[in-house]
Amino acid sequence: MYRYPSSLEKLISLLSQIPGIGRKTAQRIAFHVVSMEEEKVREISNAFIKAKAKTKVCSICHNLSEREPCDICTSSERDSTKLCIVERPIDVAAIESAGVYKGKYHVLGGVLSAIEGTGAEDLNISDIGKRIKRERIKEVIIALNPDHEGEITTHYLMSFLSPYNVEISRIGIGLPIGGSLEYTDFVTIGEAIKARKKIK
């Protein structure tokens, strides 16, 4: 049975650990990498290292940034009365690409999941109340993926937010059940934001 050189097999194995990259895709990437000029490979490698070293988690919204706090949290051009709750930093990027939302964000860092063993204490939920009071937030928009875990987390957040004097809404039409913000086009996301429905 044919075996790849050990260094190539190691690269394929590591690439396969990245979410969304299966073994066949990892093989294509690995074969492409070894055919590239060494200088270009070093450039890509250094970009990985630099991104890891410089990218931090904002202490306020938990989004990724090279600044502390992040540019969105410190921007005077954002509507600080609106807070959009998302699952991951990549969801912030997806919503920003739509160009229709100008408020602030709060990244949970995941969703409630019995299968994964993720509880409320594992997510960035507890400081939402502090932000509502401190930033005088008037509307909280829940923008979680419309799948099973997203629905459970949405209901938990509605209960958590009920004591606060804020309007609660969630993104509306355009996102199919089981869909993902990450893979939804910016036009659909924009329409979902604009068509958000008040739930409190």
Q: Which residues contact 154 (CB under 8 A, 6 or more apart)?
A: 142, 144, 170
pLDDT 10s digits, 26-81: 999 999 999 999 999 999 999 999 999 999 999 999 999 999 999 999 999 999 99
| Statement: residue 191 has pLDDT above 80 | no
pLDDT 10s digits, 104-139: 999 999 999 999 999 999 999 999 999 999 999 999
Mean pLDDT of the chain: 91
CA dihedral 66, 69, 72, 76 (to 10 degrees): -130
Identify the architecture of domain 6-54 in CATH.
Orthogonal Bundle (1.10)
Long-range contacts of 149-152 (CB under 8 A, 24+ apart): 149/111, 149/112, 149/113, 150/87, 150/111, 152/111, 152/112
Bridge-partner residues for 198, per DSSP? 169
Phi, psi of 9 (to 5 degrees): -60, -40
Q: Which residue has the higher pLDDT, 107 or 145?
A: 107
DSSP 102: -
Exposure string over 38-47, b if 16+ CB within 10 A, otherwise e: eeeeeeeeee
CATH 1.10.8.420 maps onto the chain at 6-54
Q: Could you tell me the fold of the domain covering 57-198?
A: Dna Topoisomerase Vi A Subunit; Chain: A, domain 2 (3.40.1360)
CATH 3.40.1360.10 maps onto the chain at 57-198
The position carrying tokens 């990244």 is 107
Q: Which residues contact 13 (CB under 8 A, 6 or more apart)?
A: 26
- The Cα–Cα gap between 35 and 142 comes to 45
Confidence of residue 147 (pLDDT cuts 50, 70, 90): confident
pTM of the model: 0.82
| Statement: residue 173 has pLDDT above 60 | no
Give the mean model confidence (pLDDT) for residues 90-110. 95
Pairing state between β 139-142 and 197-198? unpaired
Q: What is the DSSP string of 150-169?
A: HHHHHHHHHHHHTTSS-EEE
Q: For residue 141, what are its two tokens?
A: 């928009």
86 contacts 107 by C-beta, under 8 angstroms: yes
